[in-house]
Amino acid sequence: MAEIWVVYCVLLHVWRLGISRLELETNNMEVERILNGTTEALRGNVVVDEVCELLARNWMVKITCIRRDMNKVADILASLSREKPFREVLFTSSLSREKYLDRYTYINKHTSISSPK
């Protein structure tokens, strides 16, 4: 249930930013199935209903499930979020994401921060 609450908060924030296309990846297959409507689990739940209302708005949102071990970028970003105060990072291109991750690799090599597994 906590994962669905996070999805709700992310979708609401992204909607308020005015972003019209979003690819949201989760490592929780059940959350992906619930939000794509391929299971009846949690049908009628208030948070799920709110997420569905957000998804029905005039924008394109694709929700997919990706295994954690297959998504190193998410693992690195999640690791960074545990080490530093929250701040918003909006990648406008894959090049900016690569520079950000290269910076993390540099920091990792020169500090005691361990690399995510």
Residue type, 32: E
**% of the chain beyond a pLDDT of 90:** 42
What residues does each domain of the chain span?
2-66, 70-110
Q: Are 59 and 15 in contact (CB under 8 A)?
A: yes
Nearest-5° Cα angle at 13, 40 to 78: 80
Q: Which residues pair with 26 in a beta bridge?
A: 65
pTM, entire model = 0.60
How many other C-beta atoms can be found within 10 angstroms of the C-beta atom of residue 69?
9
Whole-number average pLDDT of the chain: 78
What are the tens digits of pLDDT across the range 43-93? 889 999 999 999 999 999 999 998 877 777 767 777 766 665 555 656 565
Q: Are 62 and 20 in contact (CB under 8 A)?
A: no
